Amino acid sequence: MRKLLVTALSCSLLACVHETNLQSLDGHQTLGRAIITSDGDNAGKIRLERDGKVYNGTWVATKVDVSREISKAYGAQSLRYKNYQKGLGSYLRQANTVLQTEQGETLNCAFKYRGTSGSGACQSETDHFEFLAIS
C-alpha cells in the first residue's frame, strides 16, 4: 500500500514516466518501444524507437466527449452518466503529435488513452502502423 501511494505522489508532483512496448493490434508483433513522459496536465514528451530510429516530440491531449455513448449504453439517468457529467471518472483522452528524428524524418502520430492503456497509429511517407501500448 505504501509503495503505491509513493508512486502516485511522485507521478502527480513530478513528471510521470511510462515505458511501453508497442504491439500490433493483434498482439502478435512488437512494433517498437515508447517512453511517454506526462507532466500531469495532459501534456508531455514522447520518445519512440522503431526500426533502429529514435523519434522525439511533445504531445498535448484533449478530453474525448463520450457522453452520448454513455447515455445510449447506460441511460441518461444512470449514475455512470451523471458522474461523467460532473467530471468524475477516468476520461478518454486523445493526442496528435509529430515526432522527429535527429536526421529530420517525421512520424505523424495520433493516440487515445484512458489511464495507462492506449492505442494509436503513426505514419510517415513510407510507413504506417497501428499499435496498442502495453507495459
74-91 residue pLDDT tens: 999 999 899 888 888 778
d(CA 124, CA 23): 18
pLDDT for the residue 73: 94
**Structure-block grid coordinates of residue 41:** 496536465
pTM given for the model: 0.73
CA-to-CA dists, residue 123 to 36, 108, 127, 133, angstroms: 18, 5, 5, 16
Which residue in 129, 120, 113 sits closest to 53, CA to CA? 129
Q: What is the CA radius of gyration of the chain?
A: 17
What are the structural domains of the chain? 2-63+92-134 (2.40.128)
SS3 at position 44: strand
